[in-house]
Structure 1
Amino acid sequence: MSNITQRPNIKVYDNTGTLAAGMYNQFRELFTGQRSQNRPLHIALAGGSTPLAFYEFLAKRPVDDIHWKTIHLWWGDERCVPPDHSDSNYRMVREALLDHIDIGAQNIHRIRGESDPDSETIRYGKEIEENIPLSPVGLPVFDLILLGIGEDGHTASIFPDSDFSADSISYCVVTRHPGSGQKRITLTMPVLNQAKHVAFMVSGPAKADVVSKILKKQIELKNLPAVKVIPVDGILFWFLDRAAASHLDK
């Protein structure tokens, strides 16, 4: 692993496997800190192949390595499909992680993609409000939010030119994929930016161009959602493999 020291919190790894291990080390540090405070750890999960590698890595840890009973798992976004659908982010996490660890159903807070989307944003927002500490401005403060990024610069299910997601005071909203038209439910940008820790996990050469442009803060990309992820009082991490980071020095 190597750190790009001129860009704080950007970490580059040889491949997806070592990236997952590096993310695990960060996760363990967070968990240890929260455990000493004797309170739950609230984590919002992401979909995608790179987070998937992280979940598979977690599933292989020794049984006593992580005290899952104190961890609450949430979802940053979800496709509006049933939980057993191949597109479901919940299904991906369940198969890669949940089926292999000792975690109670009460600690798993999935977005119900099979429900009416508008009603589900209200229900999920209430569940968040009832379980997660709120900031002085009334927004939930997740301990850690995991994010991926699309080649178009979208993150969670906040897509380019989504006007409402940047300024919404709602915890979650319904969006549509600009290509397929598929409905999705996503946490809003204000919620992402209230988190104590936000971690982008990105791998592969297809993401190298957008990663480079975002991290170099090229002004023409200012409308892209990933550019707007700037935690108010938290710490932002970018975990990259070498392929995704390959344009940073160009």
Structure 2
Amino acid sequence: MVQTKILADKTALIATATDFIIEKIRSSIELTNRCTIALAGGNTPKPIYEAIAKTDLPWDKIHIFWGDERYVLPTHADSNEKMAREAWLNHVNIPVTNIHPMPTDGENPDTDAQKHHQEILDFFGLTSGFPSFDIILLGMGDDGHTASLFPYTKALEVFDRLITVGNRGESLRLTFTIPLINHANCVIFLVAGSSKQEALKEVFSDTGNPNQYPSKFINPQGELIWFLDKSALNN
């Protein structure tokens, strides 16, 4: 099921998406006694994380993952983990064991991708296949990429693993693979700004090329919700 929620501006998008995400967390806990959520990086999610940090939630039932991460130390300014900890996780009483960052402090991203693949399988009690995260948050770049799935890169061809190495030029990342994202119960895109108009038009088009605009590959078995501000739409 695909839903598109169009908000007047970025402020309204953040407020509406925050309420929606909090309700999704609560409903997941009510249904299964836990919530698994994979976070996105970038500027748009940060105020959402700050708002969630001020919410009364059963933190011991929430497990935090990341949909992608730059291959930098978690103390690095570009780290998605660092941003989420400073905006949210450092301010709530969540058990350390409920936070599952991508390992990016080694020297071999391929080895660390395999390590995190196994960590996720172990967490979900699987020996193979793809688990279903309750919530995966995603952004979309001006080029149509999402997570660290960039146009015309090898990461787009990986369908037999949970985690792979993504790259933007020389910048290496770890990223959820397309099939892992598509096994989610709920995928939420957060997209704001006029610079996204061209890519968004192609992603929503029947003729758009997903290899050029990788967000078009995302078609989960569960819900797909796009939160957009009006400036992102090419009217």
Do the two structures share a fold, i.e. TM-score over 0.5? yes
1:170-249 to structure 2, matched below 5 A, reads: 170-178=161-169, 181-217=170-206, 219-223=207-211, 224-231=213-220, 233-245=221-233, 247=234
- Give 1:185 deviation, angstroms: 0.5
Of the candidates 138, 149, 158, which is equivalent to residue 140 of structure 2?
149
2:4 corresponds to which letter in structure 1? I
Do 1:132 and 1:142's aligned partners in 2 also have CA atoms closer than 8 Å?
A: no
Q: Residue type matched to 2:94 in 1? A: I
Contact 1:175 1:186 in 2 (8 A): yes
Q: Which has the higher contact order (CA 8 A, sep 6+)?
A: 2
Alignment of 1:113-152 (within 5 A): 113-115=104-106, 116-132=108-124, 138-152=129-143
Structure 2 matches for 1:89-128, cutoff 5 A? 89-115=80-106, 116-128=108-120
* Structure 2 residue 22 is matched with structure 1 residue 22: no
Distance 1:56 1:120 in 2: 29
Give the CA deviation at 1:66.
1.4
Checking the alignment, whether the CA contact within 8 Å between 2:158 and 2:164 is kept in structure 1 is no
CA distance in structure 2 between the aligned counterparts of 1:50 and 1:8, rounded to whole angstroms: 21
Q: CA deviation at 1:163?
A: 4.1
Q: What is the CA–CA distance in structure 2 between the aligned matches of 1:95 and 1:166, rounded to whole Å?
A: 34
- Does the Cα contact within 8 Å between 1:17 and 1:53 map onto a contact in 2? no
Segments of structure 2 that go 5 or more residues without pairing to the other structure are none
Between the aligned partners of 1:183 and 1:134, the Cα distance in structure 2 is 28
Q: What's the CA shift string for 1:35-74, capped at 9, x where partnerless?
A: 223422110101111111211221233xxx2111100000
Partner of 2:25: 31
Which of 19, 25, 43 does residue 49 from structure 1 map onto?
43
Q: Residue 133 of structure 1 contacts residue 141 of structure 1 at CA under 8 Å; is this kept in 2? A: no
Q: Note the residue ranges of structure 1 that are not aligned, 5 or more in a row.
A: 1-6
Identity, in percent, stands at 36
Cα distance in structure 2, aligned partners of 1:239 and 1:120:
32
Deviation at 1:10, TM superposition (A): 0.5
Q: Deviations over 1:170-207 (max 9, x none)?
A: 110112113xx111100100101000000110111111
In structure 2, what residue type is equivalent to 1:227?
A: K
Whether the aligned pair in 2 keeps the contact of 1:148 and 1:155 (CA below 8 Å) is yes
Tell whether the 8 Å contact from 1:79 to 1:183 is kept in structure 2 after alignment.
Answer: yes
CA distance in 1, matches of 2:165, 2:79: 15
Q: Distance in 2 between matches of 1:73 and 1:43?
A: 5
Give the drift of 1:24.
2.2
SS of residue matched to 2:232: coil
| Count of residues in Structure 1 that have an aligned counterpart in Structure 2 | 233
Aligned CA RMSD, in angstroms, stands at: 2.0
**Whole-Å separation in 2 of the counterparts to 1:243 and 1:164:** 30
Deviation of the 1:23 alpha carbon: 1.6
**TM superposition outliers: structure 1 runs of 4+ over 6 Å:** none
| TM-score, structure 1 as length reference | 0.87
